[in-house]
Each structure stands twice: as structure tokens, then as C-alpha cells.
Amino acid sequence: MTEPARLAELEKKLGHVFADRKLLERALTHASASSIASNERLEFLGDRVLGLVIAQMLFSAYPEDPEGLLALKYNALVRGEACAAAAESMGLSEHMVLASSEAASGGRQKTAILGGTCEALIAALYLDAGFEPARNFIARHWERAFAELSDDMRDPKTMLQEWAQSRSRAARGAPEYRLVRREGPDHAPHFVVEVSVAGESTALGEGRSKREAQQAAAKAMLDQLGRKEELTAISREDGG
């Protein structure tokens, strides 16, 4: 497929034909492919456009939320993982322009590159046609992330940390995470992490990054603790 045809295919996915297609080309170009014409400046602008749109959407969708909860939801929606998920949902990786070495090392699957390209694309839409096309793009590709929001936006690691701190008088220290193993090629690694808290059993978690595996391990530990507390409560009721 020729480059113009590839760009036209992406424009079809976006529902927007660029008046200045050079903006689209630049948004797709990673610094590894061109340090002069990379998407880094667009990424900077796109991050700010994304922030404004997300803040506005949250402000309208959750009129009863206090500022602190809005901030937690905002952070969940603008972080790199959320941008990368949006990029993956629209198949953006196949359109990114990377150096051959970066592509060979799994660059098309890296969260930072996917997220940065998505932000650059938002900026390109904004510069080419104004706020509405950028807002519409974000509303469409962040729909799933919005649906997953809740009133408790603490991530599993934070929740486990708080659980351990609340029981500090019982001589329980902070959760400790240990890398059990790393598998797979460099472009598609798989991590297994173990978490332990003094006085409690351990739990394992898996993921495509250490952070993801740690979060999965923390969630598994919280699930174990929840079941244990439920059994303890039942035992007390039976004993009473």
C-alpha cells in the first residue's frame, strides 16, 4: 500500500480528511525515525488538548463529584496507558513511522510510543480543524475508559498500601513486590510478580510490564484478603 493510500485509510478511521496532510504525517512520526520532523511538539500540544477535553467531560458528567474525586478520574483518563489503549483500539500502531531498529525492538507495542502518537494525533486534528474534531475523537475513543470509572479510583497497589498502613499496629509493614520471572522476547515481554505483606500469604500477578504485573498481584492479594475477612465474619456469626 502506498503512503497516500495508507494515510487515506487512517483518515477514514478518523472520520476526518486533513486539509494539511503534513500534520498527519508528522503526528505519526516517532523521534527514532526523524529527530527534526518528529511528533514530539505535537505530543506536547495534544496532551493539553486532551486534558481540557477530559476535564470538561468529567465536569459535565459528574456534577456531584468533589474536586478530589474528579482529579482521580482525570488522572486515570489522561495517563499514558489510557492514551495507548485508545491508540490500540483504532489500530494506530500500524500507521506509526518508526526507525527500523525501534520497530524491531517492539516499538509498535510500547505504551509510551502508542500514547505519545495518540496525543500527537489529537493535536494534529486540533490544528487542522479546531476543537470539535479533537473533542469528537477523544469522546469516541475514550468511551470505554469512561465506562470503567467508579467512585473509588484508587488502583490496587494504593488500596493494598492503605490496607497495610491501617493495620500498622499489628506489625505489618508495607507490601513488598518481587519479580519472579520475565519471559518472552524484548518486543513482547511477560512479567510475573509476587507481593507479600507481613503476616499474610503471598499473591502473584502477571502483565506486559512490571507495573501491570504489580497491579495484578496487588489485586489478587486484595481478593484473598476480602475472602478471608468474609470467612472470619461468617465464623463469628456462627459462633454467636
Domains and CATH numbers, the chain: 3-147 (1.10.1520.10), 156-239 (3.30.160.20)
Q: Predicted confidence band at 206 (pLDDT cuts at 50, 70, 90)?
A: very high
Each residue's pLDDT tens digit, 117-129: 999 999 999 999 9
pLDDT of residue 30: 95
- What mean pLDDT comes out for the span 191-199? 89
> Which residues are tagged catalytic?
47, 119
Q: Band of the pLDDT at 238, cuts 50, 70, 90?
A: low
Helices (H) and strands (E) in the chain, counts: 11, 3
C-alpha span between 203 and 81 (Å, rounded)? 24
Residue 4: pLDDT over 90:
no
Q: Is the dihedral of CA 97, 103, 108, 111 positive or negative?
A: negative
CA distances in angstroms from 182 to 192, 209, 212, listed in the order given: 6, 9, 13
- The torsion defined by the Cα of 130, 133, 136 and 141, in degrees rounded to 10, comes to -120
Q: Supply the pLDDT for residue 208.
A: 81
> pLDDT class for 234, splitting at 50, 70, 90?
low
